[in-house]
Structure 1
Amino acid sequence: MSTSNNPLSNSEPWNLVAENYGEMADWVMTPFAKKALEILPADKSSSVLDVACGTGILTCMMANLVNNVHALDFSTDMLSDLRARLNKREIQNVEITYGDGQNLPFKDNTFNDAFSLFGLMFFPDRIKGFKELYRVLKPNGLAIVSSWAPLEKSTLMQATSAAVKAALPDAPSPRANSGTLENPELFKIEMEAAGFQSVIIHEVTMDLPEITPNMFWKLMSEGGAPIALLKIKHSPEEWNSINEKIIQHLNSTYSSNTMKLATTAYFGVGRKK
């Protein structure tokens, strides 16, 4: 059984960063959301589900392309941010639902397509998440799920880890975990175990928009849930000192004042019989 004790499987760290997550996600997630819609093109007549939608990067893109989108997340603060985005853009064909991706509040055979970008990968029980996606899809419907690849395939994550280690040498280093969806073979096995047919795992590397070191750390520290978990372990004074060391490290490492980063994801695509 695919279970996870990852602290990011709880809503608390996502609520902590919800206010600033959108700006970070716009930078990191937008290229991958566009890629997801290339892999699984939207149909104007479709009813589509976005599980673990966050602040709605993908939801807002799809809303212009399909009949309706149902966006679900377990973070109330993320959903509040999504509502604000929808209102600002005058998007009216999105229905927002607070809920658990492992127990979807929808009937069987409801949606033409289903997505979970960088969300299901954190579920405490991924197989339940995959099975729920399968259940709510209409026959012949497609699901696309994405997960980050290991650290060695991401200069974004390498830069983040190195910055933290520069200020906190004893901080644990990220390690590859073959028991997660960063293992493409396991990814395929789990989708097939949930019932999906013709499963394909795509490896996708994206160059991110160039960014200054200061803006990079602003986005990662204010909008990144892993950094939020690190921050709450320290007093404000301690965190100010850590921040200063990290900024010094980044500006000395990237003397050109520009960071050219990339990161890699796996996209699993499967069809319901």
Structure 2
Amino acid sequence: MTERDKVFGGSIPKFYDTLMVPLIFEAYAADLAELVAASSPGSVLETAAGSGVVTRALAPKLCAGARYVVTDLNQPMLDYAAAKQQADSRIEWRQADALDLPFEDASFDVVCCQFGAMFFPNRVAGYVEARRMLRPGGRFVFNVWDRIEENDFAEEVANAVATLFPHDPPRFLARTPHGYHDVALIREELSRAGFSDIEVETREKVSSARSARDAAAAYCLGTPLRNEIEARDASLLQLATDRATKAIANRHGDGPVAGKIQAHVIVAAG
């Protein structure tokens, strides 16, 4: 992962929430919210909250007296998430690094993180911090994307954009969001962080968009892939989106499109 992979500034938060969230994140956010709420936790910490899709799904499921602390390293994303959330006195918004959390030991019943672990510069350190936050019997609930070959639109966009830069193709999608898919490695790193009870379930879902253009724009404009394209040649951003649109339409049609997405859902305790 590069420093540019972590930059969700400018117009990216808006495109991310309006295009990427319904495309690939909402269905998994609903899953994560169900898993977190299943134990009726009195206190929840969310790390790498992004534009707040899990927050919006989980908050209605928590009890009236619950404490819900929502954090993200990226202040623009956190600001966007807070602006989208209905007023709720149970929610505290904090800019925080998941690898250096500003909370006392054993402060939460559940720590959750949707598609954030792939961005941790040191995942074991992030897992150690999550475990430090947990009270006895607490759970760490998170998910990560499976390999890019198991995620149709991501693979098609990456391949299409690569044709514009054959000598230096942007690798953000394969490198970071889809770069941490080895279940054995995930288990090993969680074990190194002190977790002993680790459950991993691979879940396939369907990603849908109103058009191939919407799906392509989601990836090209709503993720740090945009930063990679613009760093090479900002004038080619529109052409990159056009090529990604054509690649998706060639496989999935010119109208509403649907493709496979796949992720690993992990619950760790102990």
Q: State TM-score, norm by structure 2.
A: 0.87
User: In the superposition, relative to structure 1, how do residues 45 and 112 fare at CA in structure 2: closer, same or farther (>3 Å)?
Assistant: closer
Per-residue deviation, residues 40-69 of structure 1 (Å, max 9, x unmatched): 434555210100001111112111122121
Cα distance, 1:75 vs. partner?
0.6
Is the 2:212–2:254 contact (alpha carbons within 8 Å) kept by the matching residues of 1? Answer: no
1:71 corresponding residue in structure 2: 70
User: What is the deviation of 1:169?
Assistant: 4.0
Q: Structure 2 CA distance, aligned partners of 1:246 and 1:160?
A: 5
Letter in 1 for 2:269: R
CA contact (8 A) 1:187 1:268 kept: no
Q: Distance in 1 between matches of 2:133 and 2:146?
A: 27
Superposed CA offset, 1:69-126 (max 9, x none): 111111110011011112xx23332101111110100001110101111112211111
In structure 2, give the amino acid aligned to 1:243: T
Change (3 A) 1:140 1:121: same
Deviates more, 1:53-62 or 1:153-162: 153-162
Gap regions ≥5 residues in structure 2: none
Work out the CA distance in 2 between the residues paired with 1:206 and 1:94.
Answer: 29
Give yes or no for contact 1:49–1:71 (8 Å, CA) kept in 2: yes
CA–CA distance in 2 between the matches of 1:122 and 1:65? 27
Alpha-carbon separation, structure 1, partners of 2:41 and 2:264: 27
Identity of aligned residues (%): 20
Q: CA–CA distance in 2 between the matches of 1:212 and 1:102?
A: 38
Q: Say which SS state the counterpart of residue 108 (structure 1) adopts.
A: coil
- 1:172 Cα offset (Å): 5.3
1:124-143 matches, within 5 Å, as: 124-143=121-140
User: Within 5 Å, which residues of 2 pair with 1:115-194?
Assistant: 115-170=112-167, 171=169, 181-194=180-193
- Give the one of 252, 264, 267 matched to 2:265: 267
Q: What letter corresponds to residue 15 of structure 2 in structure 1? A: N
Matches for 1:83-102 after TM superposition, within 5 Å: 83-86=82-85, 89-102=86-99
**Contact 1:6–1:122 (Cα < 8 Å) also in 2:** no
Looking at structure 2, the residues matched to 229 and 155 of structure 1 have their Cα atoms a distance apart, in angstroms, of 20
Q: Is 216-225 or 45-54 further displaced after alignment?
A: 216-225
Match of 1:241 in 2: 239
Query: How far apart are the structure 1 equivalents of 2:161 and 2:91?
Result: 38
C-alpha distance in 2, partners of 1:191/1:157? 27
Query: How far is the alpha carbon of 1:242 from its aligned partner?
Result: 3.2
1:133 to partner: Cα distance: 0.3
- Secondary structure of the equivalent of 2:140? strand
RMSD, aligned α-carbons:
2.4
Secondary structure, in 3 states, of the residue corresponding to 1:55? coil
For structure 1, the residue ranges without an aligned partner over 5 or more in a row are none
1:41 alignment partner, one of 31, 37, 43: 37
Secondary structure class of the residue paired with 1:104: coil
2:101 paired with 1:104: yes
Stretch deviating more after TM superposition (130-139 or 255-264): 255-264
**Structure 1 residue 209: deviation in Å?**
2.6
Return the letter of the residue paired with 2:182. N
Which residue in the other structure is 1:195 paired with?
Answer: 194
Aligned residue among 13, 17, 21 for 2:16: 21
